[in-house]
Amino acid sequence: MKSIKMVFGIGLLALGVANAASGYSVTLRDSLWIGQTELKAGDYKVEMDGDKAVFTARKTSVQVPAKMETNEKKFASTAVSTEGKQIVEIDFGGSTAKMIFSK
């Protein structure tokens, strides 16, 4: 019985880690452009799917070319870097992950 509980507990822990690693959250305070698509202000879930970033909010999903890179130190907070109204990078707070977008 104890081994079943332990296996179940390890399974839940593994599932939680896999879910946490599968995506990030970002809040846009203003409407910004990603590629050729305008993202309205709001909360988005961001995931990598191969060489594309997938932004999802409610029923909207947008895919754009992107690449993930690792920073030497963890970012204190999530930051969206822009050139004008175009998103060029997102640094994800609490992690060393950053997402780079083509200009």
Of 75, 74, 80, 34, the closest CA to residue 55 belongs to 34
pLDDT per residue over 6-57, tens digit each?
Answer: 333 344 333 333 334 468 999 999 999 998 999 999 999 999 999 999 999 9
DSSP secondary-structure letter at 74? -
pLDDT per residue over 60-85, tens digit each?
Answer: 899 999 999 999 999 999 999 999 99
Query: For the chain, which residues make up each domain, given as ranges?
Result: 24-101
Of 18, 52, 59, 36, the closest CA to residue 44 belongs to 59
**Predicted TM-score of the model (pTM):** 0.76
Tokens at 82, concatenated: 């822009």
